[in-house]
Amino acid sequence: KGLTLELNGFYNEAKNLIKTNIIQHVNEGKNKTVGLEFTANYRTRKFTADLNLTWTHTFESNILLKDINDNNNTPDIMSNIVIGWQLTPHLKIHSHILFEGRQRTYNYDLVELIKYNQMIDNLEYDDLTEDDYDNIINETYTSLDKVIMNKLIPSRVIFNIGAEYQLGNITFGFNVRNLFNTYYYRSGMNTNVVPQKGCWFMFDVAYKF
């Protein structure tokens, strides 16, 4: 009683993705992803617990200048646990545990990309022998490999805790985010690895009319 379990599978397919190409946006690239998501919820009058666990796998992806066929800026495994406890009629405490597995981030190295574009612009095919052409193609692909940065972001566990105290129509809230001051990074389609916030506190007061 009070326990709910659910398992979902999903398949995502996207084409002509909106991508930033240095100074302009273009529609190109594709992405195919499968995954599983497990959720569990437990409810009583004074206690609640929620869990989700998601596995994601990208098996076909071309979002930069070549096929990557891997998760980009998305961990293979992600999980959240949220617990709430009504300690007294006026006081509720809660906690949140976030786990994000290690992930790969692929992005442009702007210096190498400029070199690559200059190389393509300077090619003259009219007087090339077949060997010259093959050498240029090989050199171009070698430069292309340098254009795509491939970095590994370690896994992390982030703890958040908080409490709410209700006094009539006024609610006082206090939250501590990243309780253990974990040093970690995130990234995105158009950004390199970016340091995230350390431990920080938030206090708020709300009045219900």
Whole-angstrom distance, CA of residue 207 vs CA of residue 119: 63
Can you tell me whether residue 23 is helix, strand or coil? coil
Whole-angstrom distance, CA of residue 131 vs CA of residue 64: 28
Q: Is residue 199's pLDDT more than 90?
A: yes
pLDDT band at 139 (very low <50, low <70, confident <90, very high): low
Q: What is the pLDDT of residues 69-105, one digit of tens each?
A: 888 888 999 999 999 999 999 999 999 999 999 998 8
Whole-angstrom distance, CA of residue 189 vs CA of residue 181: 26
Least Cα distance to 85 among 48, 43, 51, 42 occurs for 48
Residue 192: the pLDDT is: 72
Question: In the Cβ-directed half-sphere of 78, how many Cα atoms lie within 13 Å?
Answer: 11
Model-level pTM? 0.79
Whole-angstrom distance, CA of residue 194 vs CA of residue 101: 16
pLDDT band at 138 (very low <50, low <70, confident <90, very high): low
Q: Own/partner pairs for 174-179, CB < 8 Å, 24+ apart?
A: 174/201, 174/202, 174/203, 175/201, 175/202, 175/203, 176/200, 176/201, 177/201, 177/202
Asked if 16 contacts 48 with a C-beta cutoff of 8 angstroms, the reply is no
pLDDT band at 190 (very low <50, low <70, confident <90, very high): low
